[in-house]
Amino acid sequence: MKPVRALISVSDKRGIVDFAKELNELGIEIVSTGGTARLLKESGIPVREISDLTGFPEIMEGRVKTLHPKVHGGILADRSKDEHLRAMRELEIEPIDMVVVNLYPFKETVKKGADLDEIIENIDIGGPTMVRAAAKNFKHVAIVTDPEDYERIINELKETGEISLKTRFYLARKAFNLTAHYDAVISDYLFSIDEEGKKVGCRELRNPLTITFEKVQDLRYGENPHQRGAFYREVFVTEPCVTRARKLHGEKELSFNNIYDLDGALNLALEFDPVKEGISCAIIKHANPCGVALGKTPEEAYERALKVDPLSAFGGIIAFNSRVTPEAARLIVERFYECIIAPDYDEEALEILKTKKNLRVLTTDGLNGLKNRGEDSPFDYRRVVGGLLVQDRDLMTLDPEKLKVVTDREPTEKEWEDLIFAFKVVKWVKSNSVVYAKDKVAVGIGVGQTSRVDSARCAAEKAKLMGIDLSGSVLASEAFFPFRDSIDEAAKVGVTAVIQPGGSIRDKEVIQAANEHGMAMVFAGIRHFRH
């Protein structure tokens, strides 16, 4: 296909002047609109106004300029059909062989905090219509939506005098991907507000579900070397998260598993308010915590977390809910870790961490947006073969007013603190799970067993192996105890208080066991299954 006429109308004007100059030198007529036409004219490039092509002026402040039969007839005509060619001749429709269009900056307008009226004005109508028309007719028309493709097209035109069918199909796929993404972004935004433009706390589980993500980077591979992998992000997320984190140091790129573990570690660390509850340190290995603790300083929190399971911490991921100090950094570099993520780092701490060339150091640039967790990213998505499971993110927190003591004995003040700490930790442990806690340290973590009593036993055995005395500890379970056996196991190692959701048909039996052992038991009324 040798193009004769190109319609150019772009919001992203990167490289457009040079591209248009090259097209003009190749003898291709340029038709353009609005600001693009002005820019090209000012750059000395011959331009034909769209109104000259259509015989109709741009109206309604530019809302209507390309929505015209002479534009879309010129784009959509199937050059292989005599009927289409005859209609073009009779109606004096000139063929358009190349459409160079990118769309109004809708998401950029939202991100800058514009009001609803301005955001609505940045919903492009004519642009997507031309893009889709040209992409549909890719056998005869080249649709160019990405400035990164300008060089490829010019090179091909210079080498062969035409744009190949292979390139036109490549451009058409990109074009439909662009319009699908564009519409999904608009839909996603509109479902996040009310009719006055105010943020709403919950989005609908709509039908059909349209979701869109932007690629952050390709990954070396997925979970395993034989799997391809890439990292994508949602468009409007503002809360502190791995997706928005910046890498400050580390020669190696983040892997699929690194990113997944960073997400789990950071979310666990951010369960705790650094001002009200203390500085938290979470150490994650293979998607599960192997050390979690609170401390008065980052170094204290780290040391306490590490003591729980220093063997498993090797090669793990560390997260803090506060600025990392030089003292903490010196301790961290004594061992091998894959990554560390925190809101910020002292300058000296960062220099110390940089001495480990393979340690990836990430920052969330503070905790701004933490109070709005879930507002811009409300759903959790899980793939199954041929489908998708969608649920609200588990952002439920303990409500002190709903905590219910169900045993004869109430927890002491210290037990209350440890119970609340343990229940926040167990939320981020794969089910079935339990957490033993003492002095705001997760001293025993029972991970992903098929029975809850096995989780209790495994956590206790691991603590014993590490030389940790569980006497005086508390126990948290992310779901109810179906039998009293876990309570009996906990009593053997010296547990004095238990927190669990409650709701088993054998609750009475479980409560009776706690009473027999002199334990305090609290029902949280919240379940935190994590598969």
**Residue range 436-460, pLDDT digits in tens:** 999 999 999 999 899 999 999 999 9
- 261 and 160 co-located in one domain: no
Compare 197 and 316 and report the one with higher pLDDT: 316
- Plot region of 250 (φ>0 → left; ψ -120 to 50 → alpha; else → beta): left
Report, as an integer, the average pLDDT of 406-431. Answer: 96
Q: Kindly state whether residues 360 and 412 are assigned to the same domain.
A: no
Q: What is the pLDDT of residue 397?
A: 87
CB-CB contact of 331 with 302 (8 Å): yes
Quick one: how far is CA 58 from the chain centroid? 40
Structural domain contains residue 130:
yes
pLDDT at 375: 84
Give me the domain span that covers residue 268. Answer: 242-371
Same-domain status, 59 and 179? yes
Q: What is the domain-level CATH number for residue 354?
A: 3.40.140.20
Query: Are 184 and 247 found together in one domain?
Result: no
Identify the weakest region by mean pLDDT among 5-19, 49-63, 174-188, 340-354.
49-63
At 179, which CATH number? 3.40.50.1380
336 in a structural domain: yes
pTM of the prediction?
A: 0.89
Q: Give the pLDDT confidence score for residue 278 in this predicted structure.
A: 96
Is 59 buried (19+), middle (13-18) or exposed (0-12) by CB count in 10 A?
exposed
Q: Which of 68, 181, 286, 414 is catalytic?
A: 286
Mean pLDDT over residues 335-349, rounded? 97
In this predicted structure, what is the pLDDT of residue 3?
Answer: 83
- Within-domain flag for 197: no
Annotation says 247 is catalytic: no
Average pLDDT over residues 11-22: 96
Q: Which tens digits make up the pLDDT trace of 113-153?
A: 899 999 999 999 999 999 999 999 999 999 999 999 999 99
Is residue 204 in a domain? Answer: no
Q: Are 367 and 414 within one domain?
A: no
Concerning whether 136 is annotated as a catalytic residue, the answer is yes
What's the CA gap between 477 and 475, in Å, rounded?
7
Q: Give the total number of structural domains in the chain.
A: 3
Residue-wise pLDDT for 382-405, tens only, equals 999 999 999 989 998 888 888 999
Mean pLDDT of the chain: 93
Q: Are residues 335 and 458 in the same domain?
A: no
The region of weakest confidence among 79-93, 165-179, 335-349 is 79-93
* pLDDT (mean) for 317-346: 97
284, 345: one domain: yes
Predicted pLDDT at 410: 96
What whole-number distance in Å separates Cα of residue 258 and Cα of residue 384? 22
Cα distances from 207 to residues 60, 187, 204, 390, in angstroms, run: 34, 12, 9, 12
pLDDT band at 371 (very low <50, low <70, confident <90, very high): confident
Which of these is catalytic: 136, 307, 354, 414?
Answer: 136
Are 134 and 26 contained in the same domain? yes
Token pair of 392 as six digits? 């609200």
Residues 93, 26 share a domain:
yes
